[in-house]
Amino acid sequence: MTATDSLQYRVHLAARRPRQAALVVAIIVAGAVATAVGLRSSPLGFLAGCVVIASLSDFFVPIHYRLDDAGVSARAFWNRRYLRWEQVRRVARDHLGVKLSPLARPSRLEAYRGIYLWFAGNEAEVMAMIARHTTREAAGGGDQPPVQLSPGPS
């Protein structure tokens, strides 16, 4: 493997599911209008809609992934996450993607830790890159605990 080995790709969840995206937008608009009417404040209704859209930014904005020799990064609008390979303690794969977690066991904190990589028709390449970098023997092993592979929810 060379120092420039990397895998870069982009996933846009809303573009994959336009009907679901339209439904989500309709629900957000209805919620914003209900908030504006209920509180008798158009600015608060608008703010409520913006807060919900911001919380769903990974759905509405394309996510750019980069897997390289140093680690994994995910970038979507203002949201940036990075995880070095030596921080990965558990890999949980499902049919839509794979979660790289710095936690050795499943936990409630996992929603706020690690990176979920959505597949984009590149499942084999993503999993090969993960396997190459999470095998402790290939990385020199040392005192690092082994990475736990779990199938995740199906």
The correct answer on CATH 3.30.720 for the domain covering 6-11+62-150 is no
Would you state the pLDDT for residue 152? Answer: 54
Q: Which one is predicted more confidently, 153 or 74? A: 74
Between strands 71-76 and 63-68, the pairing is antiparallel
Whether this model's pTM surpasses 0.75: yes
Question: How many other CB atoms sit within 10 Å of the CB of residue 111?
Answer: 9
Distance CA 92, CA 106 (A): 9
For the cut 90, the answer to whether the pLDDT of residue 17 exceeds it is: yes
pLDDT digits (tens, 9 = 90+) for 76-102: 988 899 999 999 999 999 999 999 999
pLDDT digits (tens, 9 = 90+) for 123-150: 999 999 999 998 753 344 444 455 656 5
Would you state the pLDDT for residue 147? Answer: 60
Q: In what order do the strands lie in the sheet with 63-68?
A: 6-11, 63-68, 71-76, 79-84
Residue pair 153/138 in contact by the 8 Å Cβ criterion:
no
